[in-house]
Amino acid sequence: MITIKDIAERAGVSYATVSRALNNRSDVSSETRKLIMELASEMGYQPNAIARSLVKRKSMNIALIVPDVSNPFFADITMAVNSAAENAGYTTMVCNTGWDQQKEQEKLRIMVEQRVDGIILKPTGFFKPETLEAYNVPIVVFWHAGDDDLSYIEVDHETGSRMAVQHLVDRGYKHIAYIGGQETSPSNQIRLLAYQQTLQENGLVVDPKLISFGGFRLESGYERFGKMMHLPKPPDAVFCSNDIIALGVLQYTREHNIRVPQDFGIIGFDDINYASLPQIELSTVSQPRDKLGEEALLALIREMEAFPERTRQRVLIAPELKVRSTT
């Protein structure tokens, strides 16, 4: 690999001058600059970003740490962060934690060792903010804001849930169920609360029998919904905590010839990519991934600029209602 010294030698100048020319700084005569530029491209010079990072103490790399890039949701986020970072002149290192807390710590460590200028993290589960602060690196977390010093970003689950339930009410459904995810999941709690409040605000009763918690999986949705339909007073619509659960419900209605949306309304949350397939056409609340990714990067840039001060940002992204043929 050829270096600025090689160029300097051929050009008969000091390598400091080569460096100046290559970074097109003003204090080089135009002739020398021209000569150096030509030589550089002729010799196939490729600047060494590692050496530059070392002296500049800035790598122009950022890290994105997510549980699983092959999950369409995170894949979209990755894309969005990537392109936003690119526009800002940064290169992204993407890490998977595989929903493993320990791996998450390891990835964080590796990224710090790589001296990335900042980190965007979607934590695998609960985490101690102190741990992250200890890494002493600009960081933005996809999570509900705590009262610590970190910067957070997330979609506005409350607004999203209200939109979903209000939409069902507006469509004329009266007996609306909630099929949620893990009871311990904080976002699940937020969604549940919004569901209850929206019903009450519309003068509808909240029936505890129509509230269910369980796995965020298709089978789980199918099964729990099936039980609900055997209730003396079954629901006529359901708000599902995510699209996968909704897919399970949809399957049940198909198999039992329940007419959707005439006799029954279904709405999900997330807008995963196949929700819009012609065979599915699921109404849902979209978490705009492009926006999330973009805003996460902007927040990170602000954080990096202020570092080592923490900016303590709390960014909330507005969800979007996607009305399709299941409501």
Partner DNA sequence: CTGAAAGCGCTAACAA
Partner DNA sequence: TTGTTAGCGCTTTCAG
Give strand pairing partners of 9: none
Half-sphere exposure in the Cβ direction for 47 (13 Å, CA): 10
CA dist 216 and 306 (Å) reads 38
Q: Hey, CA dihedral for 115, 116, 122, 127, is it positive or negative?
A: positive
Sole binder of a copy of itself in the list 8, 21, 92, 132 (CB under 8 A): 92
Place of tokens 């995810």: 181
Which of 13, 110, 211, 298: binder of a copy of itself (CB under 8 A)?
A: 110
Could you write out the three-class secondary structure of 123-191? CCCCCCHHHHHHCCCCEEEECCCCCCCCEEEEECHHHHHHHHHHHHHHCCCCCEEEECCCCCCHHHHHH
Across 150-173, b (16+ Cβ under 10 Å) vs e yields bbbbbbbbbebbbbbbbbbbeeeb
Written as six digits, the tokens of 27 are 């204090």
Q: Is 31 in the site for a copy of itself (CB under 8 A)?
A: no
Is residue 109 a contact point for a copy of itself (CB under 8 A)?
A: yes
**Helix (H/G/I), strand (E/B), else coil: 260:** coil
Binding region for a copy of itself (CB under 8 A) out of 23-31, 147-155, 227-235, 275-283: 275-283
Residue 1 binds to a copy of itself (criterion: CB under 8 A): yes
Is the CA virtual torsion 232, 238, 239, 243 positive or negative? positive
> Which one of a copy of itself, DNA, none interacts with residue 5, CB within 5 to 8 A by kind?
DNA
Among 4, 40, 237, 250, binds a copy of itself (CB under 8 A): 250
Give the nearest distance from C-beta 272 to DNA in angstroms: 43
The only residue of 23, 87, 102, 114 in contact with a copy of itself, by rule CB under 8 A: 114
Quick check: 99 binds a copy of itself (CB under 8 A)?
no
Residue 106 CB, shortest distance to DNA, in Å, is: 18
For a copy of itself, which residue of 4, 7, 59, 153 counts as binding (CB under 8 A)?
Answer: 59
The CA angle 294-306-138, to the nearest 5 degrees, is: 60
* Interaction between residue 91 and a copy of itself (CB under 8 A): yes
23: contact with a copy of itself by CB under 8 A:
no
In whole angstroms, the minimum distance from the beta carbon of 188 to DNA comes to 43
- How far apart are alpha carbons 67 and 154 in whole angstroms? 16
In the bound state with DNA, the residue whose beta carbon lies nearer, of 52 and 310, is 52
Q: Using CB under 7 A, list all residues that contact DNA.
A: 1, 3-5, 12-17, 19-20, 22-23, 26-33, 47-48, 51-52, 54-57
Residues of this chain that interact with a copy of itself (CB under 8 A) are 1, 44, 46-51, 53-54, 59, 61, 68-72, 75-76, 78-79, 82-83, 91-96, 98, 109-110, 112-115, 134, 136, 218, 247, 250-251, 254, 273-274, 277-280
